[in-house]
Structure 1
Amino acid sequence: MSDQQYAIPAGPVIFEEEIKKSRFITRLMHTPSIDTAKAFVAQIKTEFSDARHNCWAFVAGAPSNSMQYGFSDDGEPSGTAGKPMLNQLAGSGVGEITAITTRYSGGIKLGTGGLVKAYGGGVKQALLELQTVQKVPLTCIQLRVPFDQVNLLEYVTKEQGGIISDRVYSDVVCCKLEVPTQLAQLSTDRLIELSKGKIQTIDD
């Protein structure tokens, strides 16, 4: 997983155009995993099952993580739809995004170059309308915290831009922190140092 923050879609986008009597409808959606990307594709393919093609591409994780890429030409000539769509997504710097383009054919052939331009261009135009927010990757840290150190824990967690996501009370407080991945080691070291070793990490 990338420890760098990156842009993700703030909401869905729909871009529609007609090219040589073929109707192309491109949808962009925030999909934070491969499973959610595939579920979105399945939803659109079911909803628009009367269309001749529902071609798609996704970047399901960080923009730089090619292991999270996927695409399909869905019956169009190989390389004319899914790959041009993916190229637009991968070059956008936006992560956790799926594009699916629904085509209703108008009976006029576009040729391979025309298809590449139509599918890639549709995603390019949709991306121009996309609003994004920044995602800061988080790391979970588990800690044993004496009761008299809880205030210190809360102070440092807030200082580092994290949250306390869970607390279990026994003879101490067992806490789960979620802090920006880039600050995880610093946060842990700072808590241990300031508590003089009273706050301890819990191994998974």
Structure 2
Amino acid sequence: MPFTIANTVTFEEEIKKSRFQAIATVVENEQQVKDFLIETKDPSTTHQCWAWKIGHHVRFNDDGEPSGTAGRPILASIEGNDLTNVIVLVNRWYGGIKLGTGGLVRAYGGCAGQCLLLAEKIELIEKKQIQLSCLFNEWAIIQYELMQQHIEYQESYTENGVFIEARLQLHQIEPLRQKLQDVTRGREHLHVED
């Protein structure tokens, strides 16, 4: 059962005069990762090391620290907590005392781990992107169904009717597919992106 975190959390500690600050947040795609790294760019830091995991995709960055001493231990903290759809950034402000490779691994991995311990873990519910269309006179019924199931959607109006995009939990797909078939008398189909 995969988990993610409920909200953004931070943790700070000082290790041999170096200040470490971990920030963990939820990400659902690589664009959100890029946006987060741009938003948290801090030129006052000595190093900004990070790791993220989205499903089976992982990336990490040592940002100038010796190879394998920062990004990989951060990733190990994410995976050790059975988390996905998470990025953890650890900022370091160098305090003048070298920590050595073992010290760096413990500092980065430990700071990330402490940060993740503060986070509320929630079960990750898999969602799929869907698309559907309907005529204007059918839209009220479809819209009511979406609202009843608390499905967030975006609609756009075309000359022939309404085009809808939404993210559905897996158990919501079949009932909506059936409703669309009933309302449009089999004319329209629900398209699920893989």
Normalising by the smaller structure, the TM-score range is 0.7 to 0.9
Between 73-82 and 103-112, the greater mean CA deviation after superposition:
103-112
Shift in alpha-carbon separation, 1:6–1:199, aligned structure 2, 3 A: farther
1:21-63 Cα offsets, whole Å, 9 max, x none, are 2221112233333233233324434x2x23322111122x3xx
Q: Does 1:139 align with 2:92?
A: no
Contact 1:166 1:177 in 2 (8 A): yes
Shift in alpha-carbon separation, 1:150–1:25, aligned structure 2, 3 A: closer
Percent identity, please. 29
Q: Does 1:89 align with 2:83?
A: no
Alignment match of 1:128 (pick from 117, 122, 135) = 117
Alignment match of 1:174 (pick from 143, 162, 173) = 162
Q: Does 1:29 align with 2:29?
A: no
Shift of 1:155: 4.3
CA RMSD after TM alignment: 3.1
CA distance in 1, matches of 2:82, 2:156: 36
Q: Which residue of 2 aligns with 1:14?
A: 10
Q: Which residue of 2 aligns with 1:197?
A: 185
Shift in alpha-carbon separation, 1:127–1:162, aligned structure 2, 3 A: same
CA distance in 2, matches of 1:55, 1:159: 43
Residues 16-165 of structure 1: matches in 2 within 5 Å? 16-45=12-41, 47=42, 49-59=43-53, 61=54, 65-67=55-57, 69-131=58-120, 136=125, 137-145=127-135, 147=137, 149-165=138-154
CA distance in 2, matches of 1:58, 1:152: 41
What is the number of equivalent residue pairs in this alignment?
190
Amino acid at match of 2:85: E
SS in structure 2 of the partner of residue 75 of structure 1: coil
For normalisation by structure 2, the TM-score amounts to 0.77
Unmatched runs of 5 consecutive residues or more in structure 2: none
CA distance in 1, matches of 2:190, 2:173: 14
CA distance in 2, matches of 1:43, 1:125: 22
Shift in alpha-carbon separation, 1:177–1:103, aligned structure 2, 3 A: closer
Contact 2:130 2:190 in 1 (8 A): no
CA distance in 1, matches of 2:70, 2:47: 10
Contact 1:17 1:25 in 2 (8 A): yes
SS in structure 1 of the partner of residue 67 of structure 2: coil
Between 128-137 and 83-92, the greater mean CA deviation after superposition:
128-137
Unmatched runs of 5 consecutive residues or more in structure 1: none
